[in-house]
Structure 1
Amino acid sequence: MYETTTLKEKLKLFSIILIPILITQISMYLMNFFDTVMSGQAGAQDLAGVAIGSSLWVPIFTGINGILLAITPIVAQLIGAKSDEEIPKKVQQGIYLAIALALFVTAVGAILLNPILQAMDLETEVRHTAKFYLIWLVTGIVPLFIFNTLRCFIDALGQTRISMLIILTSLPLNILFNYIFIFGKFGVPAFGGVGSGIATAITYWLVCGIALAVIYKIRPFSGYRVFSNWVKPSLKAWLEQLKIGIPIGFAIFFETSIFSAVTLLMSVYSTYTIAAHQAAINFASLLYMIPLSVGMALTIAIGFEIGGKRFADARTYGYIGISGGLFIAAFAGLVLYVFNDTVAALYNSNPEVIELTKHFIYYAIFFQLADAFGAPIQGALRGYKDVNITLIMALVSYWIIGLPTGWLLANYTALEPFGYWVGIIVGLSCGAIALLLRLLYIQKKYMRIDKAVKTH
């Protein structure tokens, strides 16, 4: 990271940060994408089982990852304030917290997994796939959370290209492992959808190992000596990260869990409907990696400028993000509209599943517009460490407005399962508008502070 003075310099730096993050996020999501697509080729029951398993896992993973994301603005602001000596301690405490959270999630999952799956009206084969997909996935949860903490440190230094290279290295391996374990190759039994969980867990261990080696061996990371002079776990340090991370985590959880809740509510419909819904959500979520990446880049850039007390520059980055969000919204909608048939055929060969998937994708075009606008603004607010109001906005817009609207439309209109998607569109739109108003308020607040300082 470095200071910029002109809009052209800011756009250049922002692009340097953004493009590797975008490639990294897309590559990470492609692991889930290939899990779903390759499981679908094994059968509709396998696709539905992975859909249910993912619906339980993704909100937990993204929520916990939100807590770990707090390392990014913490380190970015320390760099902006030129307090580099504090960074190794923050990262070490982040690693401790990541391990503690992984063990906590594993323990809770061991208690609740069977009761949750038994409570759902699922075919026996679908329930079996969902259960063992999750059991295998959890074997990689500790290295996954450690990697995400290390990645936040890497990205906060502006070295987003390194994260990109790590993930690009691991993606082909994940596809290979999927091929081996789902379809039973090289003497390994065919596990079907469960095999995608095994493949992903192995990949988590690999990316963590690579990240540890990079930070230990390669500059500028090795210069911070993160793995030297380990400090003891500190509850005070954990609370500092949790103060920022918990609101981020819950805001992300409320957003992602609404999709999972819809999938679980759809368990009353046919296996084909669940499979089609999951296929459409899966591809729309892949496109969502674009605005999410813009938001992550804004967190780094704005955090750096706020740490250096350059509030006008931080505001400029905010405008860059909003403009990018508008462009992305148009692009994502066009992709979904043009490639409707192609996308639907990717996931399953069954004509009924393909036709249902195409219908769901039409609705995805509209909620993608709101999502592509809201995600960059959320990232900008994280750069300001303004996270508490965002949490409340997420809860209200998704769970108090969006999900009840969807339930009413699904159960009391002819829309049926598609009614849930209309509810998602309503919730995301309300959230995007509220986030924009909050960002404009925070920008004005910091500009007033800047003006008062310069006056005196």
Structure 2
Amino acid sequence: MYHADTWKDKTKLLLKILWPILITQVGLNAMNLADTMMSGRVSSEDLVGVGIGSSIWMPIITGLNGILLAVTPIVSQLIGAGKRGEVAKSVSQALYVSVIIALIVAAVGLAAFRPILDAMQLESKVQHIAYNYLLALLIGIVPLFASNVLRYFFDAQGFTRISMFITLIAVPFNVLLNFGFIFGKMGFPALGGVGAGYATAITYWLMFAVSAAVAFRHAALRQYRLFREWALPSWKAWKELLAVGIPIGLGIFFEVGIFSIVTIFVGNLFDTEMTAAHQIALNFSSLVFMIPLSISMALTIVIGFSVGGEKWKHARQYTLLGVCGGVGLMGFIAILLYFFREPIASLYTEETDVAVLAAQFLVFAIFYQLSDAAQASLLGVLRGYKDVRQPFIIAFVSYWIIGVPSGYLLAARTNLEAFGFWVGIIIGLTCAAVGFLIRLLAVQRRIRSGNTAVLPTADKQPV
């Protein structure tokens, strides 16, 4: 990492950090994509079962992993401020927290998965697949959380290509295991959609093993002596991490939770065909979302580094580059998605009625791409400033007070039916984008007035 002075150099640095993150995020999402697509080749019940399981799993896992995302701005600001000696301690404490969170999630999941699925009143086969898919995923939850801490540690230093290479190893490994466990190939039992859970859990262990090996062997990372010298657990350090991480995690949970609750509503209100079509469109849209999400993560790194070095003008310039570039790129992708929506839908299923419905859902997905790009990139900027509390409130109000209720009313009270939920998502994302922009302008105004203590957490909790 370095402080780039010109617009050209800033663009090069941002792209250098961005493209490996994008490949990593697409790869990670591709595992879920492969689970859904390959399960759909068994039956619609397997597709819906895995889709329902993913809808329960993803908001919990991404939200709680979002807590650990605090490692990125913390480490990037430490490095930007020249405090490399404090990095290892922060990462060690984050690893402790990751294991504790993972064990809590596993315990709660074992107790709660069955009642949640019972309340959804699913078809018996769909419920069986969803429940056992979730149980299989729990096998890999500890290495999943720990490997994410290491990933954020790598990324915060600009070593985003490390995470990319780990993902490029993991994705084909996951697809190969899916082939075995789902269809009963290579001597594995044919478990259908449930097999996708076991394949993904095993892949999580592989990712952690490779990440730990890199931390040991990479020349620039050995200096931190991770896994060689452990800092004692520190409640004070955990509080500092959680003060930044919990608002980030809850904000992610509220966003991802929109899609999950909508899937649950669609499953309760409409038939299996409609639910399968919705899940196809949602699954592909989630893959497309990896682009603005990657831009968001790259912006957190470069802006955190600039803020750590008190390069306030640099931070504003990166904001313009990232937000404007992200919205423009997603506008272009939205046009492509419109023209290729039918071939995309047919990749997921051989059932014509489901594919036709899925293509219709993808039309609605096109319209929220711009709002999604704007809100994701603006949120990444705010995280770079470690401004996380107000964005958390904005996210909650936009997604759950405005987006979900409006979507439900449109689905239940108008001819839009299930498509009404997607209109509600568009409304929620647009409100979030506007709210994040207002908050960012307020933060930058305070800095220009000479108040560089951007956050209460930055005031009271040095990192």
TM-score, length basis structure 1: 0.98
Please state whether the residue corresponding to 1:224 is helix, strand or coil.
coil
In structure 1, C-alpha distance between the alignment counterparts of 2:281 and 2:80, rounded to whole Å:
41
- The count of residues paired between Structure 1 and Structure 2 equals 452
Q: Which residue of 2 aligns with 1:262?
A: 262
Q: Which residue of 2 aligns with 1:370?
A: 371
Q: Which residue of 2 aligns with 1:35?
A: 35
Tell me by how many angstroms 1:344 deviates. 0.5
CA contact under 8 A between 1:332 and 1:369: conserved in structure 2?
no
Is residue 418 from structure 1 mapped to residue 419 from structure 2 by the alignment? yes
In structure 1, C-alpha distance between the alignment counterparts of 2:325 and 2:64, rounded to whole Å:
27
| Greater mean deviation of Cα atoms: 319-328 or 306-315 | 319-328
Tell me by how many angstroms 1:447 deviates. 2.3
In structure 1, C-alpha distance between the alignment counterparts of 2:439 and 2:357, rounded to whole Å:
38
In structure 1, C-alpha distance between the alignment counterparts of 2:53 and 2:323, rounded to whole Å:
34
Matches within 5 A, 1:5-404: 5-268=5-268, 269-404=270-405
Structure 1 unaligned runs (5+)?
Answer: none
- Tell me the amino acid that sits aligned with residue 382 of structure 1: R
Q: Which residue of 2 aligns with 1:448?
A: 449
CA contact under 8 A between 1:311 and 1:450: conserved in structure 2?
no
CA contact under 8 A between 2:446 and 2:452: conserved in structure 1?
no
Tell me by how many angstroms 1:427 deviates. 0.7
Q: Which residue of 2 aligns with 1:436?
A: 437
CA contact under 8 A between 2:331 and 2:369: conserved in structure 1?
no
Tell me by how many angstroms 1:367 deviates. 1.4
In structure 2, C-alpha distance between the alignment counterparts of 1:356 and 1:173, rounded to whole Å:
32
CA contact under 8 A between 2:133 and 2:198: conserved in structure 1?
yes
- Tell me the amino acid that sits aligned with residue 100 of structure 1: I
Alpha-carbon deviations, 1:382-426, whole Å to 9, x = none? 000000011001110110001110111111111111111111111
CA contact under 8 A between 1:51 and 1:274: conserved in structure 2?
no
In structure 1, C-alpha distance between the alignment counterparts of 2:437 and 2:232, rounded to whole Å:
41
In structure 2, C-alpha distance between the alignment counterparts of 1:447 and 1:319, rounded to whole Å:
17
- Tell me the amino acid that sits aligned with residue 413 of structure 2: Y
CA contact under 8 A between 1:267 and 1:274: conserved in structure 2?
yes
CA contact under 8 A between 1:329 and 1:370: conserved in structure 2?
no
In structure 1, C-alpha distance between the alignment counterparts of 2:292 and 2:328, rounded to whole Å:
10
Tell me by how many angstroms 1:444 deviates. 2.1
CA contact under 8 A between 1:294 and 1:324: conserved in structure 2?
no
Tell me by how many angstroms 1:451 deviates. 9.9
Tell me by how many angstroms 1:349 deviates. 0.6
Alpha-carbon deviations, 1:31-53, whole Å to 9, x = none? 11111100100110000000110
CA contact under 8 A between 1:251 and 1:391: conserved in structure 2?
yes
CA contact under 8 A between 1:312 and 1:447: conserved in structure 2?
no
Please state whether the residue corresponding to 2:82 is helix, strand or coil.
coil
Please state whether the residue corresponding to 1:28 is helix, strand or coil.
helix
In structure 2, C-alpha distance between the alignment counterparts of 1:421 and 1:18, rounded to whole Å:
29
Please state whether the residue corresponding to 1:42 is helix, strand or coil.
coil
Q: Which residue of 1 aligns with 2:457?
A: none
TM-score, length basis structure 2: 0.96
Alpha-carbon deviations, 1:10-59, whole Å to 9, x = none? 00111110010011101111011111100100110000000110010000
Percent of pairs identical after alignment? 52
Tell me by how many angstroms 1:369 deviates. 1.7
In structure 2, C-alpha distance between the alignment counterparts of 1:412 and 1:21, rounded to whole Å:
41
Tell me by how many angstroms 1:332 deviates. 2.6
In structure 2, C-alpha distance between the alignment counterparts of 1:62 and 1:352, rounded to whole Å:
32
Please state whether the residue corresponding to 1:349 is helix, strand or coil.
coil
Please state whether the residue corresponding to 2:237 is helix, strand or coil.
helix
In structure 1, C-alpha distance between the alignment counterparts of 2:447 and 2:20, rounded to whole Å:
29
In structure 2, C-alpha distance between the alignment counterparts of 1:298 and 1:97, rounded to whole Å:
25
In structure 2, C-alpha distance between the alignment counterparts of 1:111 and 1:227, rounded to whole Å:
33
In structure 2, C-alpha distance between the alignment counterparts of 1:226 and 1:311, rounded to whole Å:
32
Alpha-carbon deviations, 1:186-228, whole Å to 9, x = none? 2211100001101000100000000000001111111111222
CA contact under 8 A between 2:47 and 2:193: conserved in structure 1?
yes
Q: Alignment RMSD, CA only?
A: 1.1
Structure 2 unaligned runs (5+)?
Answer: 454-463
